[in-house]
Structure 1
Amino acid sequence: MVLSRFWLVIFISSIFFIVVSLFTANTYTIDSVLNGKKDDPVLVSEKYIDQLPVFIKDSIKKAPDQTMIINRDTLNADTTYVYKNKTVKIYSGLQKSDGLLPTCKSTLVDLILPLIAYLAFFCGLMELLIVSGASGNLAKLLSPVFVKVFPSIPKNHPSISYMTLNFAANFLGLDSAATPFGLKAMESLQEINPDKDKASDAQIMFMCLHASGLTLIATSIIGYRAAANASNPADVMLPCIITSFIGTIAAFLIVGIKQKINFKSASLVIGLMVLIAAIIGLLMYVNHLDLIGKNYFTSNLSGLILLAIIAFTLVFSFFHEKKFKDAETTVFDTFVVGANNGVKTGVTIFPYVLGMLVAISLFRNSGLFEIISDAIGFIFSNMGVSKEITNALPVAMLRPFSSAGSRGFLIDSMNTFGADSLTARLSSIFQCSAESTFYVIAVYFGSVNIKNTRYALGTMLLVDLICVITAIFVATWFF
């Protein structure tokens, strides 16, 4: 219900603002909102050539392509005059994101179709884990800890192994693998959900832990920083880990208090200590490496572990082929069955993702986001917050809505202020330490047709806020 109302508010307010802007002459055309592409020049006016200043008119006539560009600098978008069909179209600024119709297309072509391919492959592997008995063995191994975190889950339930794989994939920055594992976990949890329309306690806990984004190797962030010529692209690794870890602990505590979980459980404490020890151990190892060593380690570890998971699944299935025979199937046929289920899941979540991304597109292109962002930045500035911090806030604000949008702000901050500036480093931490909350809600709850997400959205947004505050303190402490 909360998500539905929030979606309606974004949609309706954006449309209202677009219409008002058009009729008050703040916007020249709404065509870009509907049909424009991200980074396209924005049409702001159209005039007859005689209405332009003489120097512009002469420059246009002398130009071979009858086009003139002024204000060419690194901070302001160029203003472009294009003479065509007896009128001069004036463009200024760049479109913030794809328009409504291109968003519909890109959601299917660029997002859902690749996601379906990932789902098909990894759901095929998960089906092998199920039939071979590997997932059951993993569930038995981790049950003592998971039943304390998820009291409503029966001991040795298959969802435990799926959640473990999801957390591990997120931890290693393997987004393409994390989503299929997470969706399978949600399906498994839905099987034991007494109210199929309402999110269960276990589903909410899983979603909040997943969205808190605990990540060890921020491969993509390091790549962006390297491309921007940062002196040490991996210097944000430790701040990212600290911020995302605090976010994960916050999510666990907030949901745990709500669900009255026993935090004094010995197995829970031991599990947490093992996790902390593993993180510290890896950090100590990475920290002693030189720059080339860090780049080599971070670029290969995730890939090697993913290959190891795939190899283990196939080898384990091969040595337990008798179980497939007992189930009157083969290893390959089992993989195909799982892959088919993955395709069906991808088709199921498409409408949920489409609805959310179209609303976000309108929200971005309407100008509402910039107004809200500027207002918050103004408030923080007047509170004495450093401008280097307020310049990074758009990344934090957009991150819950759109990973691609916040990534654009991140890259822009590195290009504008320098990759080694506090603004760029803080933006990197913002990008790494949280998930796209609304996308995650739409995908995961949509995959199992949950209509009432209860307090999941509010908790996830609160955790996002905690991560933002933590990131600011950590960034100013480190840099």
Structure 2
Amino acid sequence: MVLSRFWLVIFISSILFVVVSLFTGNSYTIDYVLNGKKDEPILISEKYLNQVPKFIADSIEKAPNMTMVINRDTINADTTYVYKSQTVKVYSGVQKSDGLLPTCKNSLIDLIIPLIAYLAFFCGLMELLIISGASEKLASKLSPVFAKVFPSVPKNHESISYMTLNFAANFLGLDSAATPFGLKAMESLQEINPEKDKASDAQIMFMCLHAAGLTLIPTSIIGYRAAENAANPADVMLPCIITSFVGTIAAFLLVGIKQLINFKSASLVVAITTIIAAIAGLLFYINGLDLIGKNYFTGNLSGLMLISIIAITLIFAFIHEKKFAEKGTTIFDTFVDGAKNGLNTGVKIFPYVMGMLVAISFFRNSGLFEIISNGISFLFSNIGVSKQITDSLPVAMLRPFSSGGSRGFMIDAMRNFGPDSFTGRLCCIFQCSAETTFYVIAVYFGSVNIKNTRYTLGMMLLVDLICVIAAIAIASWFFL
């Protein structure tokens, strides 16, 4: 219900803002909101040739393609004058994201089709885990801990192994593997959900732990920083890990208090202590490497782990091949059946993802998001918050809505302020230490047709806020 109302609010408010802007003269056209493409120039007015300044008119007439570009600099967008059909079209500024119709198209072509391919492959592997008995063995090993975190999940339930694989994939930055494991976990949890259209406590806990985006190897962030010629592209790695870990612990405590989980369990304390020790040990090892060594290690660890998961799954399936024979199938046929389930899941979640992305696109292009973002930055600057922090807030604000949008702001911040500036580094930590909340909710709950998400959205946004506060504090500690 909360997600539905939020979706309506951002859509309707954006539409009203666009219409008011058109009739008050603040916008010349609204076509860009519907048909425009990201980074394309925006039409701001149209004049006759004799209405533009004479030096511009003369330049247009002399130009071979009847086009003139002025105000070329590295900060402000170019203003372009294009003479066509007896009028001069004036373009200035660039579009923040694709319009409504291109977003509908691109959400299928650029997002869902690749996602379906990942789902098909990894769901095929997961089917092998189920039939071979590997998921059952993994669940039995982890049941003592998961029984405390997810008390409503039966002992040795297969969802435990799927959640473990999801957390492990996110931990290592394997996004392509994390989503299929997570969707399979949600489907498995839905089987034991007594109210099928209402999120269960276990599903909410899983989603909120997912929201903090606990990551050990932020390979993409390191890659973007390297591309922007940062002196040490991996210098934000430790702050990213600490921030995401703080968010994960906060999510566990907040949801745990809401769900009356027993925090005094010995097995739970041992598990958390072990995780902290493992992270600290790995960080200690990585910190002892030189720059080339860090890049080599972090660049290969995630890939090796993914290959290891695939290899272990196939080898385990081969060793227990008789279980497949008992069910009248083969290892490859089982993989194909699982891949078909992944295909069906991808088709099912498409409407949810497309609906959310279109609303977010409309919100950004309307200009309403920019006004809100600037207003918040102005408010924070007036209460003494450093400009270095307020300059990075658009990334934090946009991260729950759009990973691509916040990534664009992050790259823009590194280019304008420098990859080794405090603002550039803080933007990278923001990008790494939280999830795309609305996309995740649309995908995961959409895959199991849950309509009532209960307090999931509010709790995930609270975790996002904690990650933002933690990122500012930790970045200040490391880089100021």
Residue 243 of structure 1: how far off its partner (Å): 0.5
1:53 is the counterpart of 2:41: no
- Compute the displacement of 1:449 (Å): 0.3
Name 1:120's counterpart in structure 2: 120
1:283 maps to: 283
1:234 counterpart SS class: coil
Give the structure 2 partner of residue 151 of structure 1. 151
| Shift of residue 84, structure 1, vs aligned partner | 1.1
Amino acid at match of 2:458: G
Q: In 1, Cα distance between the equivalents of 2:332 and 2:377?
A: 55
Q: Following TM superposition, by how much is the alpha carbon of 1:64 offset from its aligned partner in structure 2, in angstroms?
A: 1.4
Letter in 2 for 1:308: S
The separation in 1 between residues aligned to 2:292 and 2:251, in whole angstroms, is 35
Q: Deviations over 1:57-81 (max 9, x none)?
A: 1111121111111111111011111
The 2-side partners of 1:292 and 1:41 are apart by 40
Per-residue CA distance 1:224-277 (angstroms, 9 max, x = gap): 000000000000000000100000000000000000000010000000011101
TM-score by length of 2: 0.99
Q: How does 1:384-403 map to 2 (within 5 A)?
A: 384-403=384-403
Secondary structure of the corresponding residue to residue 195 of structure 1: coil
Query: 1:202-351 counterparts in 2 under 5 A?
Result: 202-351=202-351
1:153-200: CA deviations, max 9, x gaps? 000000000000000000000000000000000000000000000000
Runs of 4+ in structure 1 over 4 Å off: none
User: What is the CA deviation profile of residues 379-430 of structure 1, one whole-angstrom value per residue up to 9, with x for unaligned ones?
Assistant: 0000111111100000000000000000000000011111101111000000
SS at match of 1:233: coil
Corresponding residue of 1:371: 371
SS at match of 2:409: helix
Aligned partner of 2:361: which letter?
S
Match of 1:4 in 2: 4
Aligned residue identity for 2:174:
L
Paired AA for residue 331 in structure 1? I
1:436-472 deviations in whole A, cap 9, x for unaligned? 0000000000000000000000000000000001101
Q: What is the alpha-carbon distance in structure 1 between the residues aligned to residue 74 and residue 297 of structure 2?
A: 35
Counterpart for residue 42 of structure 2: 42
Aligned counterpart, 1:21? 21
Task: Report the number of matched residues.
Answer: 479
Find the residue that maps to 2:155 and give its secondary structure: coil
The equivalent of 1:411 in structure 2 is 411
Residue 194 of structure 2 aligns to which amino acid in structure 1?
Answer: P
Q: Which residue of 2 aligns with 1:105?
A: 105
- How far apart in 2 are the matches of 1:270 and 1:63? 73
Q: Secondary structure at the match of 1:244?
A: helix
1:210 aligned partner, one-letter code? H
Name 2:380's counterpart in structure 1.
380
- Partner of 1:476 in structure 2? 476
The answer for the alignment partner of 2:356 in structure 1 is 356
The amino acid that maps onto 1:446 is G
Q: Distance in 2 between matches of 1:322 and 1:460?
A: 44
* Alpha-carbon separation, structure 1, partners of 2:63 and 2:384: 48
Q: In the alignment, which residue of structure 2 is the partner of 1:424?
A: 424
CA distance in 1, matches of 2:381, 2:67: 40
Query: Where does structure 2 lack aligned partners over 5 or more consecutive residues?
Result: none
Structure 1 spans left out of the alignment, 5+ residues: none
Residue 55 of structure 1 deviates from its aligned partner by: 1.1
Per-residue CA shift, 1:258-303, capped at 9, x if unaligned?
0000001000000001110111011011111111111111111000
How far, CA to CA, are the matches of 2:67 and 2:252 in structure 1? 57
The aligned counterpart of 1:67 is 67
Distance in 1, Cα, partners of 2:278 & 2:166: 17
- Residue type of the alignment partner of 1:477: W
Q: Secondary structure at the match of 1:90?
A: strand
Question: 1:182 maps to which residue?
Answer: 182
Distance 1:454 1:147 in 2: 22
| Distance in 2 (alpha carbons) for counterparts of 1:134 and 1:256 | 29
Across the aligned residues of Structure 1 and Structure 2, the Cα RMSD in angstroms comes to: 0.5
The percentage of counterpart residues that share the same residue type is 80
Q: What is the CA–CA distance in structure 2 between the aligned matches of 1:176 and 1:355, rounded to whole Å? A: 22
C-alpha distance in 2 between matches for 1:32 and 1:294: 44
Give the SS at the match of 1:47: strand
Distance 1:171 1:184 in 2: 18
CA distance in 2, matches of 1:181, 1:211: 15
Distance 2:65 2:250 in 1: 58
Displacement, 1:337? 0.6
CA–CA distance in structure 1, aligned partners of residues 304 and 231 of structure 2: 27
1:435, distance to aligned residue in structure 2 (A):
0.4
Instruction: Give the aligned partner of residue 84 of structure 1.
Output: 84
- Give me the whole-angstrom Cα distance separating, in 2, the residues matched to 1:82 and 1:217: 47
Question: Is 1:463 matched up with 2:457?
Answer: no
In the other structure, the counterpart of 1:445 is 445
Q: Which amino acid aligns with 1:198?
A: K
The Cα of 1:347 is off from its aligned counterpart by 0.5
Q: CA deviation at 1:85?
A: 1.1
SS of residue paired to 1:75: coil
Q: Distance in 1 between matches of 2:469 and 2:61?
A: 54
Letter in 1 for 2:398: L
SS at match of 2:45: strand
Show the counterpart of 2:191: 191
Q: Distance in 1 between matches of 2:60 and 2:306?
A: 56
